[in-house]
Amino acid sequence: MHGVNVGERLRAIRRQKGLSLHDVEARSDLEFKASVLGAYERGERAISVPRLLRLAEIYEVPADQLLPRDADVEINLTEGADLDAGFTIDLVKLHALDDPEAAVLSRYAATIQLQRQDFNGRLLTIRRDDLRVLAAVLGRRPDDLGIRLDELGLRASTASA
């Protein structure tokens, strides 16, 4: 998904909340400067996953609501996959990989763990909302992301513990 599309969505949500760029700057205690927010919204500057998640908190919306709406993209990782329950990533394998996308995924996983206060360090369930955010950050369609995770061998076995 292109940065301009993400920016358009960021602007739409901010406006729906009745906030100006300066309102968001003030609400974030200057964490987000109005000029930087404007650059995100115009697609001139890419937003990182942690910053996107923080904006979702400030706007009081689920993170996936800050992503573009794409009615043509159907999330379908594999035939019969139950994405409402998410899927599980093997963090041990993830941290052992030397791959640029794995590095992004690793940073995102750390952010999710921090938010959930889940530090078991071995497995992490990626929920449907997380999947949309992660796919957008990696510039992939959600179903392509599942294929890539399988190629990297990161999807943990779904056997019951």
Residue 157 lies in a domain: no
pLDDT at 19: 92
Quick one: pLDDT band at residue 18, thresholds 50, 70, 90?
very high
Q: Does residue 130 share a domain with residue 91?
A: yes
The residue segments making up the domain with residue 45 are 3-66
Residue 141 lies in a domain: yes
Residue 158 lies in a domain: no
Looking up residue 46, the CATH number of its domain turns out to be 1.10.260.40
Q: Does residue 101 share a domain with residue 58?
A: no
Query: Mind listing the pLDDT tens digit for each residue in 54-104?
Result: 998 898 888 878 877 653 333 333 333 444 456 788 888 888 888 888 888
How far apart are alpha carbons 18 and 37 in whole angstroms?
Answer: 15
- 17-39: average pLDDT: 94
Q: Select from 33, 66, 99 the last residue of a domain.
A: 66
pLDDT at 3: 55
Residue 116 pLDDT more than 90? no
Structure tokens at 136: 């957008």
Q: Does residue 91 share a domain with residue 62?
A: no
Q: Does residue 95 share a domain with residue 142?
A: yes
* Alpha helix stretches (DSSP H) within 20-141: 21-27, 34-42, 49-59, 91-96, 100-116, 128-138
Q: Which of 1-10, 30-39, 57-66, 144-153 bottoms out in mean pLDDT, i.e. has the lowest?
A: 1-10
Residue 158 pLDDT more than 60? no
Domain count, the chain: 2
Q: Does residue 113 share a domain with residue 58?
A: no
Q: Select from 31, 66, 101 the last residue of a domain.
A: 66
Q: Does residue 132 share a domain with residue 100?
A: yes
